[in-house]
Amino acid sequence: MNKRILKVLSVKLLLLLFSHMAYAQKAPEWVLPTTPFNEAETARLMEKGTATIQGTATLKKKGKDNFGVKGSQILLFPVTPYFMEFLELKKKFNSRKKQATMSSVAFTYRVEGRFVDDKGTFRFTDLKPGKYYIISWIAFARQKTVAVQTGTSTSYNVYGYVLGSSPIYEDYQYDVFIENEISGFVDVKDAGAVMNVVVHN
């Protein structure tokens, strides 16, 4: 069998493997709110105003503060009956089998922001008075340990013959970065207000 045929067979086997993996990882069942989404009312809530929400986002893990990093995304949603039902559904359906979601139209009614530094600082401007929900995802490091074989120990008898050998292992530590969601409500009472908030877990 020549190299070209072997290469074609290898590609076909890889494609077959990926197709089986994709089939095995079934998409979850998406659960939508039953409350009707009032697009016109939500659009009015998103009209330009004069209020500001600013502050920091932090995730506390094992006594350590982890912050949103510069350029990472932070989202702001106007709070509506539809959105409140979505949040309740998230508490019930957040697994590989079932997950809560919003309609594609409802999801467009949001403000996308970015952290301006590595201390989780953010700022949303031109907001109307109303209730808002801020959400982001912050990564923290979890340390893992793995045993790696670094050598072999060999034992000999008095005549110099090998009696046996055993592997030598050393523990190496490395960081795995995991994202956690942080979120919170902010109630803007007055036009022109500047709300200073801390969003955390």
* pLDDT single digits (tens) 132-182: 999 999 987 777 777 888 888 888 777 778 888 888 888 777 666 688 899
**Mean pLDDT score, 115-134:** 96
Query: In this model, does residue 22 exceed pLDDT 70?
Result: no
What's the pLDDT at 20?
A: 52
What's the pLDDT at 165?
A: 85
Residue 36 lies in domain: 3-200
What's the pLDDT at 17?
A: 47
Phi, psi of 88 (to 5 degrees): -65, -40
Mean pLDDT of the chain: 85
Least confidently predicted of 31-40, 63-72, 134-143: 134-143
DSSP letters, the chain, are: --HHHHHHHHHHHHHHHHHHHHHHSPPPEEE--SSPP-HHHHHHHTS--SEEEEEEEEEEETTEEEEPPTT-EEEEEE--HHHHHHHHHHHH-BSSSEEE---HHHHTS-EEEE-SSTT-EEEEEEEPSEEEEEEEEEEEEEEEEEEEEEEEEEEE-TTS-EEEEEEEEEEEEEEEEEEEEEEEEEEE-STT-EEEEEEE-
Query: In this model, does residue 116 exceed pLDDT 70?
Result: yes
Total domain count, the chain:
1
**Mean pLDDT score, 80-102:** 93
**Mean pLDDT score, 52-69:** 92
Distance of alpha carbon 37 from the chain centroid: 26
Query: In this model, does residue 9 exceed pLDDT 60?
Result: no
